[in-house]
Chains A and B, each alone.
Chain A
Amino acid sequence: EVKLLESGGGLVQPGGSLRLSCAASGFTFTDFYMSWIRQPPGKAPEWLGVIRNKANGYTTEYNPSVKGRFTISRDNTQNILYLQMNTLRAEDTAIYYCAEGAGDYWGQGVMVTVSS
Chain B
Amino acid sequence: DIVMTQSPFSLAVSEGEMVTINCKSSQSLLSSGNQKNYLAWYQQKPGQSPKLLIYYASTRQSGVPDRFIGSGSGTDFTLTISDVQAEDLADYYCLQHYSYPFTFGSGTKLEIK
Residues of A within 8 A of B (CB): 35, 44-47, 49-50, 61-65, 97, 102-109
Q: Please, how many angstroms separate the alpha-carbon atoms of A65 and B1 in the complex?
A: 11
Contact between B101 and A103, CB atoms less than 8 A apart: no
Q: For A103, what are the chain B residues with a Cβ–Cβ distance below 8 Å?
A: 40, 42, 50, 52, 95, 97
| Interface status of B105 (Cβ within 8 A of chain A) | yes
Cβ distance B4 to chain A, nearest Cβ, rounded Å? 9
> In the docked arrangement, what's the CA distance between A70 and B82, Å?
41
Q: Which 6 A-B pairs have the closest CB atoms?
A: A47-B102, A102-B97, A63-B101, A106-B49, A61-B100, A44-B107
From B52, which residue of chain A is reached at the shortest CB distance? A104
Interface contact A44-B101, CB-CB below 8 Å: no
**B104 and A64: CB pair below 8 A?**
no
How far, in angstroms, from A64 to B50 measured CA to CA in the complex? Answer: 23
Q: Is A105 touching B103 in the complex (CB atoms < 8 A)?
A: no
A107 vs B52: C-alpha distance when bound (angstroms) = 12
Distance of A81 Cα from B24 Cα, bound (Å)? 32
A selection of 29 A-B contacts at a CB cut-off of 8 Å is: A44-B93, A44-B104, A44-B105, A44-B106, A45-B50, A45-B93, A45-B95, A47-B95, A47-B101, A49-B101, A50-B102, A61-B101, A62-B101, A63-B100, A63-B101, A64-B1, A65-B101, A97-B50, A102-B40, A102-B95, A103-B50, A103-B95, A103-B97, A104-B52, A104-B55, A105-B52, A106-B51, A107-B49, A109-B49
Asked if B40 contacts A47 (CB within 8 A), the reply is: no
Question: Bound complex: CA of A87 vs CA of B51, how far in Å?
Answer: 31
Chain A residues within an 8 Å CB radius of B101: 47, 49, 61-65
Q: Which residues of A contact B95 (CB under 8 A)?
A: 45, 47, 102-103
Closest CB-CB distance, B93 to chain A, in whole Å? 6
Q: A47-B103, A61-B100, A103-B40 are in contact. Are A97 and B49 (CB under 8 A)?
A: yes
Known contacts A102-B95, A103-B40, A47 near B49 by CB under 8 Å: no
Question: In the assembled complex, how far is the CB of residue B51 from the closest CB belonging to chain A, in whole angstroms?
Answer: 7
Contact at A108–B97, with CB atoms within 8 Å? no
